[in-house]
Every structure is written in C-alpha cells, then in structure tokens.
Chains A and B, each alone.
Chain A
Amino acid sequence: MTQWPLGSPLVGGHGSGVAQILGCVDPLAPLRSVGERLAPPMEALAQSIAERVVGLVVGAIDVNAVLDEVDLNAVLDRVDINELLAHMDLDAILNRIDVDALLDHVDINSLLARVDVDGLLEQVDVNRLAARLDLNQLMGTVDITAIVTRVDVNQIVQAVDVDGVIRKVDIDAVVDRVDVNEIVQRVDVEALVEQTDLGSVIASSTSGIAGDMLDAVRSRTVGVDESIARLVGRVLRRPYTGPPGPPAGLRATARS
C-alpha cells in the first residue's frame, strides 16, 4: 500500500481522518485488474500470431540453401565429441541395436571387394601384431579336429604341384643327411628274405646243390671251430665272444 507524505494536500489541513482513508486506496488497482483480465486472451492471440508468422517464415526459407551456407566442418570443429559421447549411454544404445539384422543388410562381399587388402596389410606391423598374440591360448581355443575334418585334403593335394616341389628339393643334400648304414642296421634282413619274394630271387640267382653242400660243410666246420674255442676258453677260464679278427689291414679296408 502507498504511504502518502504528511506535507501532501491530501494530508495537511483536513485532518488525519482523510489521510487514513486515502492511505487505504490504491489508484492503480483498477488498471491492474483490467490488465489481469486482458492478459490471457492477449497471450493466446500473440502465440497464434507468432505461430502463424513462424509458419510463414519457415515456409519461405529454403533449408537446403541455408544448409549450403553452413560450414559444417566449422560446426563440427566446435563440437566436443568426447564430451558429447561422455553424456551418452552407449551400452544402452548398443543393446537396442539388432546386430544380426544389421549384418543381414550388409553385403560383406561387396564391402570386402572395395577394401584394398594389400594396402591395408602394408600398414600392419605383422611382427608386432604376432608378438602380442598368445598363440598357446589361441590354439587352445581352436578345435583342430573339427577344422581338419572340414579340410578336403584330396583337393589340396591335387592343387599342389608335387613335381615343382620335388624339383626344388636338393635330393643330394637330403641323402647326405641320411645315415644309410644306420637304416640298414635296423633292417631285419633275415625276416625280409624269409617273408618276401626276395628269397626266391636270391635262391634263383645263387648256386645250386653243390653250393648248398659247400655252405653246409663250412658251417659245420665253423661250428666245430666254435666248440673247440669255447672249450679252450672254459679250460683257460677266458670268456669267448666269437671268432677274433679281422686283421688290421682288413679292418682298414672295410672302413674305406
């Protein structure tokens, strides 16, 4: 409420009762009351006018032309992507994405066809990549059997140029590394002769009855030699380990 000063004509000379009455009267109250009654319809009117104006303006604006005028790069430069991403719940977004459906729409072959694999690989430091791989762990997760069963070995073999591979092999170097004597020692020649046609070949290529008799006579005599040598060894308490020899010269010849 407005407080009138005591020097005012409305206060001085007419006594304090008038001043008290006037002190209770607000001359602007009627105006304020009118304003309060007019405000809502005016706001509605203004809003409808504004919507109309905006509609007209928007209809008149060529958005493409406006966008052409916008320097998107400059806009993007001003955007702090990291801060933006920090406010985003990416997990929630990803959970809402049906990746399978997404991949169904992707033509992987077409995509791969557009990829310059050679160029990509040239940029890859394979050694560094391999150094970071835990191959043991990786192989532990691989079902080798399943992979092998899916491999068409025949097809692979047919695709291999065996002649070309063999041409590249240094047979001499390979043979040099093979200890033929060691291999021959592991061959059971007697079993080979007994169980294969090799015996027939030998039999047909060697001497006949006379040779057999000679072998038999010699073997008998050698048996007697061995018996005598064992007897002598027993008498002399000297272990017998077979016929001694050969002479040093023959040993040298045999080694050459």
Chain B
Amino acid sequence: MTSRAGEAKPFHPPAAARESLQGHYAGFASRFASFVVDLIVLTGIFMLVLAAINFAASVITGKDIAFNRGNLWVVIAYLVWGFIYFAHFWGLNGRTAGGAMFGVQVLTDDGADVSLRRAALRTLVFPLSFLILGLGFLGILLGDQRRALHDVIAGTVVVYSWDARAARLRFLSRESSPGADRPAPPALPGRPASPG
C-alpha cells in the first residue's frame, strides 16, 4: 500500500478488485477495536516489564517493589511507553499491533507514509480527542474522510490496508475445496458478512 522500503508494496489494485476495501477510509468500529487491542498489548507488555523488574529487584534486593496505579512514576512510565509504542509503530509502517490485526493503517492525508515526526505529533495530540469528552472522535462518524481531531491536527488519515476482495476469494477457494471448513464469508462494501 505504501512506498516504504522493505515490507511496503505499491498500491496497484487490479481492476477485478475494485470492490476491495484497500485504501478506503476506515470506519469507527475498526479503529476502535484496533485501539482496544493496542491498549491490551501495550498494557500487557508494560505489566510484563513491571513484573520482570519486580522479579529482578526481589532477586537482587530480596524485596518486592509495589507497583500500582497510584504511583506517579508508574503512570508516567506507562504514558511514555504508550507514546513510544504508538509513535514508533505509526512512524515505522503506519500500523500498530491492533492496526495490523484489524487491517487499518495510518497515512498522511494525501496517501503518503507517515514520518516519525508526524507520528509523534499524532501520538501527542491523540489524547485531545478524549479530553474533550470524546467529541474529537465525531469526525470519524460524520466526516467525509472519517478523520478524528488528532488526525486533522496531525494531517493523517486511517485507511483499510487489507484486501477484502482477496479475502473473499480466499474464502470462496476454501469453500470450493473438498472437505473445507466454512467460516463466514468476508464482507465486501455493500455486501456485509452474512450473520451467524
């Protein structure tokens, strides 16, 4: 999708894949689910690190370190870790762990890759959308480009990075293969997944 070296591939959707979601602005649910997964991941890692530190301290000093949410340093460390997590992954390839899972990617508003500086800015202004009672996220629901407040400030957009049509073809190919399991078919624009 992007022109980043290494993993990045140029966006050349074939004509037959016009129903693919790839490159279209991601909706609220995908972005929210992606954020939730990111919170779980970064919190889990943070807790693992704290546990490791606690274990190391107990081994070295023979005393446990009481980490809790009331500890200011823990909060600061958590916020710093969160900044590093998001800024690093958005600046690296536009995808965090949650973004990779739900197939969403952060790009600049003209479709280019996000630089580390812009990723840092986006991470810094990200809390603003929360701090104004979540009104910063209304743009995702109402805007033509589905941009939140922090997207507008940082000049970024969030798009689908997965090929829905290719996923559907994969599903159909398994369906046509003998003895294949039949999970629900992937949805296409205007063709949502069947219930059940």
Q: Do A and B bind each other?
A: yes
Residues of chain B lying within 8 A (CB to CB) of residue A242:
24, 189-190
Bound-state CA distance A202–B168 (Å) is 11
Given known pairs A214-B101, A243-B189, A250-B11, the reply for A219 and B167 (CB within 8 Å) is yes
The answer on a CB contact under 8 Å between B173 and A225 is no
Residues of chain B lying within 8 A (CB to CB) of residue A201:
173
B82 lies within 8 A of chain A by Cβ: no
Given known pairs A219-B193, A220-B193, A253-B11, the reply for A228 and B109 (CB within 8 Å) is no
Bound-state CA distance A1–B22 (Å) is 148
10 A-B pairs with C-beta separation under 8 A: A184-B15, A193-B169, A212-B174, A219-B193, A222-B164, A242-B190, A243-B21, A244-B24, A245-B145, A250-B159
Binary CB contact string for chain A from 219 to 244 against chain B (1 if under 8 A, 0 otherwise):
11111111111001000100000111
How many of chain A's residues have a CB under 8 angstroms from any CB in B? 51
- Which of A184, A187, A203, A224 makes the CB contact (< 8 A) with B173? A203
The answer on a CB contact under 8 Å between B183 and A225 is no
- Which of B16, B29, B171 makes the CB contact (< 8 A) with A228? B29
| B124 CB → nearest A CB, Å | 23
A164 lies within 8 A of chain B by Cβ: no
A218 lies within 8 A of chain B by Cβ: yes
| A88 CB → nearest B CB, Å | 81
Complex: chain A residue closest to B31, CB-CB? A225
B13 lies within 8 A of chain A by Cβ: yes
